[in-house]
Amino acid sequence: MKNVKRPPISEILTDNKFEYERIKEIFGNEEIEVIYKKSADATEYVDLEIVGWGFYQALNQRTYAENGIICDQDVPVKMRDGVTIYIDIYRPERLDKVPAIVSWGFYGKRPGDIPKTWQVLGVPPKTISKMAKFESPDPGYWVKQGYAVINVDSRRTGNSVGKLRPWQKQDAEDGYDLIEWLATQRWCSGKIADLSKINIVNLSGKIYIPLLR
């Protein structure tokens, strides 16, 4: 493998194409200053047909029912530091006190965020519902089995605010706060599972494992 010549830090920070910031992070017992590119503002929204190519839908808080499934869309949940993230809740229309499955990530919580993903992957037609999102439990299946599915936009994803810091302690703390919030909802039995593709339980220090049932 050839050695790759990396530009000096000073050159990266003066690159006019992007804005950067220095954030101190804890890795093990060591504090390290990390350079992050600042997240772009969600200032442009487009129709669902082209969502997924760097665009995201505008905030649209509503509750609707379809095929026996209730969707509470763009529900705000406040984290311990005051930052608000948004989630979509899919739950059975005729059942109360159901367990919840959390899908946490930064790929976008809405279905259709990745155009034609299922076709590209060769998934047989009609085996995935129109409620399914990228790499997450399909509400069309799991809600019919008596579960609620919680799709989450982590910080700085979609309409959620804050700064995107994937796989860091912040994700774990936010996951903890979300699970605590879910357990108090009238429709939730208090039993909660994490089926997140990014596996924040393992990557973020496992601080909220005791909350999971």
Task: Indicate the DSSP class of residue 41.
Answer: P
Phi, psi for 35 (deg, rounded to 5): -95, 125
- Which residue stretches of the chain have pLDDT < 50? 1, 46, 48, 50-52, 113, 115, 203-205
User: Measured over all CA atoms, what is the biggest interatomic distance in the chain, rounded to whole angstroms?
Assistant: 61
Is residue 119 one of the residues assigned to a domain? yes
- Other C-beta atoms lying within 10 Å of the C-beta of residue 208: 21
The CA-based angle 64-182-170, given to 5 degrees, is 115
pTM flag (> 0.85): no
Per-residue confidence (pLDDT) for residue 10, from 0 to 100: 59
Is residue 188 one of the residues assigned to a domain? yes
Is residue 14 one of the residues assigned to a domain? no
Is residue 7 one of the residues assigned to a domain? no
- Find out whether 187 and 96 touch, Cβ atoms under 8 Å: yes
**If DSSP codes are grouped into helix, strand and coil, which group holds residue 69?**
strand
Its domain, for residue 64, covers: 57-211
Per-residue confidence (pLDDT) for residue 125, from 0 to 100: 75
Beta pairing, strands 84-92 & 98-105: unpaired
Is residue 187 one of the residues assigned to a domain? yes
Q: What is the CATH number of the domain that holds 204?
A: 3.40.50.1820
Number of folded domains that form the chain: 1
Is residue 40 one of the residues assigned to a domain? no
Per-residue confidence (pLDDT) for residue 86, from 0 to 100: 96
Is residue 2 one of the residues assigned to a domain? no
Per-residue confidence (pLDDT) for residue 88, from 0 to 100: 96
Is residue 47 one of the residues assigned to a domain? no
